[in-house]
């Protein structure tokens, strides 16, 4: 028996798939829709972030993905954790540095099932990439109530106190810049 090339096999397979598609429904089962609706109803907390990018300082806007982490372990250590973001990370929220333009606020929301991440010891803002982001301040509300209010993302931890947030990765660990604070001390709802 001769072997059929990959391209020929696909050409033979597509008519069969097209015939199957005409007869089979490609919709989700009703139970999946019910599960999604249930999860959406359970996500009863709205977490809103307001991040500001500085007009001065090193960095500016970035093409990298920026992470806001809630963690029970400090990243201010000379040793790289294994894994880098392990079980100590309670929650993480991401936004694109492209959306965080200098001088303009970036506001984004996430629906959450619970808010136990607010009990984490530390909050960190990091960038795994090498395109530094000049984060200036961070505010956060939960269900419309302030938790963080205009917290300055300075001084940075790492090699440059006012440098862009960048290089929070295993390869560039010695050259990284990130921001970290004791979450319980900076929360305005705990005062």
The per-residue pLDDT for 59 is: 60
Pick the range with the lowest mean pLDDT from 35-49, 126-140, 161-175.
35-49
From the DSSP assignment, how many helices (H) and strands (E) are in the chain? 3, 9
Cα separation, 179 vs 191, whole angstroms: 22
How would residue 40 be classed by pLDDT, with cut points 50, 70 and 90? low
User: Mean pLDDT of all residues in the chain?
Assistant: 83
Give which of 129, 125, 122, 132 is closest to 154, Cα–Cα.
125
Does domain 45-190 fall under CATH 2.60.60.20? My reply is yes
pLDDT digits (tens, 9 = 90+) for 81-104: 888 888 899 999 999 999 998 988
The per-residue pLDDT for 191 is: 77
3-state secondary structure 53-90: ECCCCCCCCCCCEEEEEEECCCCCCCCCCCCCCCCCEE
Pick the range with the lowest mean pLDDT from 29-43, 54-68, 125-139.
29-43
Q: In the sheet where 157-158 sits, what is the strand order?
A: 89-96, 65-71, 122-127, 177-182, 157-158
The per-residue pLDDT for 84 is: 84
pLDDT(158) > 50: yes
The per-residue pLDDT for 56 is: 63
pLDDT(48) > 90: yes
């Amino acid at each position: 028996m001769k072997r059929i090339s990959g391209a020929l096999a696909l050409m033979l397979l597509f008519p069969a798939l097209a015939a199957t598609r005409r007869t089979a429904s490609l919709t989700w089962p009703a139970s999946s829709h019910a599960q999604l609706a249930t999860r959406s109803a359970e996500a009863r907390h709205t977490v809103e972030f307001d991040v500001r990018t500085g007009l001065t300082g090193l960095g500016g806007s970035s093409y990298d993905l920026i992470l806001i982490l809630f963690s029970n372990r400090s990243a201010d250590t000379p040793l790289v954790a294994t894994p880098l973001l392990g079980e100590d990370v309670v929650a993480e929220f991401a936004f694109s540095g492209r959306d965080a333009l200098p001088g303009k606020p970036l506001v984004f929301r996430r629906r959450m099932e619970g808010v136990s991440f607010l009990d984490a010891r530390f909050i960190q803002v990091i960038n795994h990439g090498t395109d530094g982001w000049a984060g200036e301040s961070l505010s956060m509300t939960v269900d419309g109530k302030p938790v963080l209010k205009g917290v300055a993302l300075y001084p940075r931890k790492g090699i440059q106190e006012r440098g862009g947030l960048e290089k929070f990765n295993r390869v560039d660990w010695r050259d990284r810049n990130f921001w970290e604070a004791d979450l319980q001390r900076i929360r305005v709802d705990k005062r």
